[in-house]
Amino acid sequence: KQEVTQIPAALSVPEGENLVLNCSFTDSAIYNLQWFRQDPGKGLTSLLLIQSSQREQTSGRLNASLDKSSGRSTLYIAASQPGDSATYLCAVVYMDTGRRALTFGSGTRLQVQP
């Protein structure tokens, strides 16, 4: 079964720390991997999308890497701020379907303490 796993499930850090969120997927045949942010009671906000041919993407304080061979992605957040507190979801589009639907991990709930 094609799955996506995220660890840790929850993380609490003091403001200013750099942190890494981990995502692993079971099949290296993917189209792309996408990181989302979800605030309580809200929808999903796309943060970064990495195509299967790419190794990383950067946006501001965020950097996402992709290693298809090991089935892993990391989301690096530099100089964390209280406003970064949210649930971060990793999602993969596996190649064996034509629909391009996302398979989601269960998320990492991040709390940045001021």
3-state DSSP percent of the chain in helix, strand and coil, to 5: 5, 60, 40
- For another protein, which residue of 7, 17, 29, 42 counts as binding (CB under 8 A)? 42
- For another protein, which residue of 44, 62, 71, 74 counts as binding (CB under 8 A)? 44
Q: Give the amino acid at 64.
A: A
- Token output for 90: 């990793």
Query: Is the CB of 9 or the CB of 78 nearer to another protein?
Result: 9
Name every residue whose Cβ is closer than 8 Å to that of residue 82 and which is 6 or more positions away in sequence: 15, 112, 113, 114
Residue 91 engages another protein in binding (rule: CB under 8 A): yes
Site string for another protein, 13-32 (x = CB under 8 A): ------------------xx
Q: How many helices (H) and strands (E) does the chain have?
A: 0, 11
- For another protein, which residue of 34, 65, 73, 108 counts as binding (CB under 8 A)? 34
Q: Which residues bind another protein (CB under 8 A)?
A: 31-32, 34, 36, 42-46, 49, 51, 53, 89, 91, 93, 97-107
